[in-house]
Amino acid sequence: MTPSDARARYMRMRGFNVLFPMGFDAFGLPAENAAIRRRIHPKDWTYANIERMRHQLKSMGAMFDWRREAVSSDPEYYRWSQFYFNQLYHHGLAYRKMSPVDWCPNCNTTLAREQVWGEDRHCERCETPVIKKDLEQWFFRTTNYAAELLDFSNLDWPERVRTLQTNWIGRSEGASVAFTTEVGDALEIFTTRPDTLWGATFMVLAPEHPLVAKLTSPEQAQLVEAYVQQALRQSDIQREAADKDKTGVFTGGYAINPVNGQRIPVWIADYVLMTYGTGAIMAVPAHDERDFAFALKFGLPILPVIEPPDGRSKSYVVPGSMRSGFADILQAQGISFELVEDRLYITLSASQVAKYVDIAHRYLKPGYWNEVVGAQWMFIFDDGVQVWDSVESEARILLRCRELEPRVADRRTVMEMLWNCPFYQDVLYHHEYGTMIHSGEFTGTPGDQARLQVTAWLAEQGVGQGMVNYRLRDWLISRQRYWGAPIPIVYCPEHGAVAVPDDQLPVLLPDDVEWLPTGESPLKLHPTWKHTTCPVCGGPAVRETDTMDTFMCSSWYHLRYLSPHYDRYPFDPQEYDYWMPVDTYTGGIEHATMHLIYTRFFHKAGRDMGIMRGPEPMTQLRNQGIILGEDSEKMSKSRGNVIAPDDLVSRYGADTVRAYLMFFARWDMGAPWNGSGIEGVARWVRRVWTLMLEPVAPGDPSPDTLRTLRRKLHQTLRQVTHDFETFEFNTIVSALMELLNEMYKARDQGATGSSAWAEVLDIYLRMMAPVTPHVAEELWQHLGKSYSIHNQPWPIVDEEAAAEDQITLVVQINGKLRDRVMVPAGISDEDTRQAALASDAVQKHLAGTVPRKVILVPGKLVNIVV
């Protein structure tokens, strides 16, 4: 808090009208869980906490305008959260649907996808792994704004946050393609690789896909049913583990590939997710890693349709399969190979394949075969060469090989046979872009045009079109918890879900509930609360008993600060016009894919509903790092590693604590707490105090002393100003420390009676004011200046005073430091060169040799190259 408070104070001194508000995002799981643990009513616990926090913040000297305080659990606040819900509902941006959702068994509530973290898919709050439940829940249509949320052009936000959001939204460009089942049902898929359509040798549906039942043949019914049941039982963690062995079942049904009429089997497998795309994929095992593993495991055909970019092919020659002289002729033809124990391992460039096939065919002994794989796929038999370019030719080749070699008799596909040869493995599968092969009229289309051309053709044929898919999901906002804003919906047997009219808001959260956990939503168990009347017909109806995710409350709180007690609208429009959008917003990086996406969504939705204006809610964002406990773990009461500012404040005073919080680590990086340095900052504050309050008789300072002092002063002012602008708070304090050291020197040289001294004290206190507001104010008064220092303008750098009149010229020989020479600031290049060469150290090192070259950086450095 304090560094941003200091910056707000700095901006005020810069002449800005600064709104620096404070409020409490008071609803939510953490508060409710903490209250339950202590067996205190969540409301009592929350408001006691708020009071404690207010006290703490005030003791730190924050400049918050408390008249603008907003508390999201106050009815006068959540009335407007409910108003926003209604608006979203009326505009079709809030909807209710039954779906498998993430459920935290410990918090007894559903969670948004953003609130489920890590590999084990745990609850963001309590770290319990979540499970899936089928529930009817309320969602906000964040996906409507997926494309717009990717546009950061109006934002001065850190690259890091933009990247996190971009990845979270997860745009992929591709095409939708209309496959059909054998009996004529449409079976649409999404693919990013329309260029591989001719290699689609089977399809895979998510187990939950609606067509599964219809596709399943009677023979497969039992297996399919069992697999679907098992998939539903499994948690996401089990299902989504990437390294898991592929599982799946054949439905017995077939689909038709629209590009070539090929009849391909339809499988179900849990590696296809119902929640992404259409819940169905075309499988191109030759160019998709997952499909490849699946096909290999289940013996499904694999057909390469994209040439690898390097054009490399391979051939492995079994001992005894070639007539003698084979290796010699290869060598003579410039075809490189490795010979290991009579086995030949041959790697071919694109141009060598034809020549090689010819030679191999001539040298092949009867009863054997040889193959070329990679960029080209050919099987050389003694009676001719078979090209593997279709599912049919593969079948023929496989049959032939099985006849010739009993050891491959049980192989189900050619690829399975080849995969057994480790030498081949790196050329059998790839997912790069390349020239299309084995793809009918598209064969030969180069990799950089393939996707575009195929997509255009699909559209022409009416079987597909270009399409963009996002990973972002709609925001699940229902929570089966007590401590939140009630969702203002009433269910009427006649009229269904009806929004509570705005003039009847807020739907008050009752105090008299059983808030101790029962595994059920507390509002549901309240004897009377949920019973009400339908706003449409007046008949008996029941209220929605779920409450809203607190991220809903925090999505618009910046607007409530404008006018926290305004009772006609979420905010006073005049205030909105004056202040919005938020100019500077600071917060932790942990908000990147939650709060900061939600609030952007909220703003854009609000804009489209005619409530807010402009493209974005917050113009400039700067991330602060997290201060960890001394044990480098996140501070938490349960770990017992929390550093309470109160203790530090009572021991060192607020100003010292403020300054130390700015000084001890980089604000944007955060660090484990380390209290040992605070003594240094305390010493600094005391030394300022001593210097200004302990009288020292003025002496007779030299002009040099005064010039040096003023130079340091204005150089410091320049740096401090810059560092405030760029949020580099740690160097603000160190620059002030440096200047103080200089001031002590000047004092000892008798400077205290001078006008320069008065100037230094004046500016020094102004620079301190944002950092240590109390000490600065008191010393300001002591200097006899008018109240208050915090209303003073920020000082202006006197560039002339800040300029150096002497510079330290660095003299290097071959880039190594050899000497430093003091020269006047405006020195000419020629004089610089002379001064450097005249140096004793240089003369000694040169020892008579003549420099080959002299590099000159004016005003800084001379490098003599010998």
Partner RNA sequence: GCCGAAGUGGCGGAACAGGCAGACGCGCGCGACUCAAAAUCGCGUUCCCUCGGGAGUGUGGGUUCGAUUCCCUCCUUCGGCACCA
Q: How far is the CB of 462 from RNA (least distance, A)?
A: 20
Task: Using the minimum distance from each CB to RNA, give the nearer residue, 114 or 371.
Answer: 114
Residue (176 or 216) nearer to RNA, CB:
176
Nearest-approach distance from CB 728 to RNA, in angstroms: 6
State whether the Cα torsion 424-426-427-430 is positive or negative.
positive
- How far apart are CB 149 and RNA at their closest, in Å? 15
- Residue closer to RNA (CB basis): 537 or 857: 857
* Smallest separation, CB 698 to RNA (Å): 19
Spatial distance between the Cα atoms of 816 and 863, rounded to a whole number of angstroms: 8
Phi first, then psi: give them for residue 586, nearest 5 degrees: -120, 145
Pairing between strand 202-205 and 263-268?
parallel
**Closest approach of RNA to the CB of residue 191, in Å:** 3
Are 845 and 813 contacting, i.e. CB atoms less than 8 angstroms apart?
yes
**Using the 8-state DSSP alphabet, how is residue 189 labeled?**
E
How many CB atoms sit inside 10 A of residue 775's CB? Answer: 23
Cβ proximity to RNA: between 336 and 814 the closer is 814
Cα→Cα distances 566→88, 505, 562, Å: 21, 14, 9
Chain Cα centroid distance, residue 213? 39
Cα–Cα distance measured from residue 370 to residue 385, given in angstroms and rounded to the nearest whole number? 10
Nearer to RNA, 63 or 856 (CB): 856
Task: Decide whether 391 or 685 has the Cβ nearer to RNA.
Answer: 685
CB closer to RNA out of 399 and 865? 865
The residue among 74 and 102 lying less far from RNA, judged by its C-beta, is 102
Omega of the bond leading into 321 within 30 degrees of 0 (cis): no
Residues 6+ apart with CB under 8 A from 798: 710, 714
CA atoms within 13 A on the CB side of 290: 17
Residue 743 or 761 with smaller CB distance to RNA: 743
CA–CA distance, 561 with 575 (Å, rounded to integer): 10
- Count of C-beta atoms within a 10 Å radius of residue 355: 14
Residue type, 532: T
Cis previous bond, 100, omega within 30:
no
In whole angstroms, how close is the CB of 394 to RNA at the nearest point? 22
Least distance (Å) between residue 741 CB and RNA: 6
> Cβ 238 to RNA, closest distance in Å?
8
Minimum CB–partner distance for residue 228 and RNA (Å): 15
Could you tell me what percentage of the chain is helix, strand and coil, using 3-state DSSP and rounding each to the nearest 5?
Answer: 40, 20, 40
Query: What b/e readout covers 251-275, taking b as 16+ CB neighbours within 10 angstroms?
Result: bbbbbbbbbeebebbbbbbbbbebe
Helix axes 729-748, 2-13, angle to 10 degrees: 70
- Least Å distance, CB 652 to RNA, is 12
Q: Is there a contact between 804 and 825 (Cβ–Cβ < 8 Å)?
A: yes
Q: Which is nearer to RNA, 188 or 583 (CB)?
A: 188
Task: Choose between 186 and 340: whose C-beta lies nearer to RNA.
Answer: 186
User: Within the chain, what is the greatest distance between any pair of CA atoms?
Assistant: 113
Nearest approach, Cβ of 175 to RNA (angstroms)? 9
Q: Least distance from C-beta 470 to RNA, angstroms?
A: 8
Element (H, E) at 154: none
Is 728 in a helix, a strand, or coil?
coil
Shorter beta-carbon distance to RNA: residue 73 or 201:
201
Q: How far is the CB of 821 from RNA (least distance, A)?
A: 11
Instruction: Put residue 823 in one of left, alpha, beta given phi > 0 → left and psi -120 to 50 → alpha.
Output: beta
Whichever of 578 and 744 has its CB closer to RNA, that residue is 744
Contact 95, 139 (CB under 8 A): yes
How far is the C-alpha of 208 from the C-alpha of 229, rounded, in Å?
10
- Cα separation, 249 vs 227, in Å, equals 7
| Contact residues for 514 (Cβ-Cβ < 8 A; gap 6+) | 522, 525, 526
Rounded Cα gap, residues 533 and 217, in angstroms: 50
Q: Is 857 exposed, middle or buried (0-12, 13-18, 19+ CB in 10 A)?
A: exposed
Smallest distance, RNA to C-beta of residue 313, A: 25
329/671 with CB nearer RNA:
671
Token couple for 224: 């399919």
The minimum distance between CB 195 and RNA, in angstroms, equals 11
The amino acid occupying position 248 is G
Task: Please say which residue, 81 or 719, places its beta carbon nearer to RNA.
Answer: 719
Sign of CA dihedral 231, 234, 235, 240: negative
* Closest to RNA by CB, 36 or 131: 131
If you ran DSSP here, which 8-state letter would residue 642 be given?
A: -
Tokens standing for 80? Answer: 């407007």
Residue 419 Cβ vs RNA, minimum distance, rounded to whole Å: 18
